[in-house]
Amino acid sequence: MPTPFPNSQTESDGSAVIRALSYNIRSLRDDPEALARIIDACAPDVLLLQEAPRFFRWRKKLARLAKATNLVYLTGGAPAAGPAILCSLRATVENTEDVLLPLTPGRHRRGLATAVVRFGRARLGLVSCHLGLQKDERQAQSGLLLDRLGALGVEHAVVGGDLNEGPAGPAFTLLADVLQDGAAIAPWGGTDTFPATGPARRIDAVLATKGIEVLACGVPTDLPGVTGSDLRAATDHLPVLAALRIPASA
C-alpha cells in the first residue's frame, strides 16, 4: 500500500506543515479540467506554476484556474514571463514581486515570480522559476535565482521550477548545493517528470532552504484523486508535490 502523503497542519510549536506543488502547465493549452482535478487532489497550500498564461486574457485564465482549484492568484504570469504563484486561503501574504531576468538575444525571456507569506508563525519565501533551454543560460539564471532568494529577507524559502535539465546538470547542481532537493531528500511517489506521456527525465523540482524539514516529495502518482489519464492529459509535464515542515519564525 502506498505511503500516505502528509496533510497540511499547524503544529503546537508554531511550525507549519504545508503542501507545495510545482507544475508546468503549458499555458493551459491541454485539458484544463484534468489539470484542475490534479491540483485539487493535491490540495496545495502554495502552487508554483511555470508556463502560466501570459498573453491574451492571461489574468482571466489564471483567475479561472484559481477558482477551479480553491486557490487565489498571488503573483506572476505575464509580468514574470511565465512563472506564477497561487496559494490557499491558509496563507497570509506579506509581499509579492515579479522579476524579469536579463534577456539573452534570440532566446525566450525568463523571469521569477516571488512572494513572502506566513502560515501562522511560520514565515516563508516562495520562488517559481523556469530556466532556459541552453546550458550556459540556465547556469547563469540559477545564480541569479539564488541572489534573488537571498534578497527576500527570509530565513526559510521554497523554490519550485522547471529546470530544463536533470540533477547532474550544472544549474540543477548549483541549486542543490545550496538548497535541499526535495525528491532526493525524501522521495515519495514517482520520480521522472517529462514528458508526461512517458516520463524519462527529472527536470522539475521543489527545493527548500536547509532549515526546512522535507517530509515527502515526488510526482503524486499514488495520491487519491490523481489518475494516470489526467496526468497525461493535463499538460506535457508531471507535477512535483512536496510536504514541508516550516519552522516558526523567531
When pLDDT is cut at 50, 70 and 90, the band that residue 203 belongs to is: very high
8 inside domain: no
5 inside domain: no
When pLDDT is cut at 50, 70 and 90, the band that residue 196 belongs to is: very high
Q: In total, how many domains does the chain have? A: 1
Q: Beta strand 16-24 with 46-50: parallel, antiparallel or unpaired?
A: parallel
150 inside domain: yes
233 inside domain: yes
Domain that holds residue 130: 15-246
4 inside domain: no
The pLDDT score that the predictor gives to residue 107 is 86
Query: What's the whole-number mean pLDDT along residues 121-149?
Result: 96
Query: What's the whole-number mean pLDDT along residues 220-231?
Result: 96
7 inside domain: no
8 Å CB contact between 226 and 35 = no
Cα separation, 172 vs 166, whole angstroms:
7
Q: Angle, to 10 degrees, between the axis of helix 135-151 and the axis of helix 170-178? A: 20
CA 26 to chain centre: 14
Cα→Cα distances 18→25, 70, 74, 103, 222, Å:
21, 16, 17, 34, 19
In DSSP notation, 39-105 reads HHHH--SEEEEES---STTHHHHHHHHHHHTT-EEEEESGGGTS-EEEE-TTPEEEEEEEEEPPPPT
3-state secondary structure of 160: strand
- Could you read off the pLDDT of 81-124 as tens digits, one per residue? 999 999 999 999 999 999 999 988 888 899 999 999 999 999 99
**CATH at 138:** 3.60.10.10
Cα separation, 71 vs 87, whole angstroms:
5
8 Å CB contact between 50 and 25 = yes
10 inside domain: no
Report how far apart the first and last C-alpha atoms of the chain are (Å, whole number): 39
3 inside domain: no
pTM beyond 0.85: yes
pLDDT at residue 250 above 80? no
- Cell representation of residue 247: 519552522
**How many helices, marked H, and strands, marked E, lie in the chain?**
6, 13
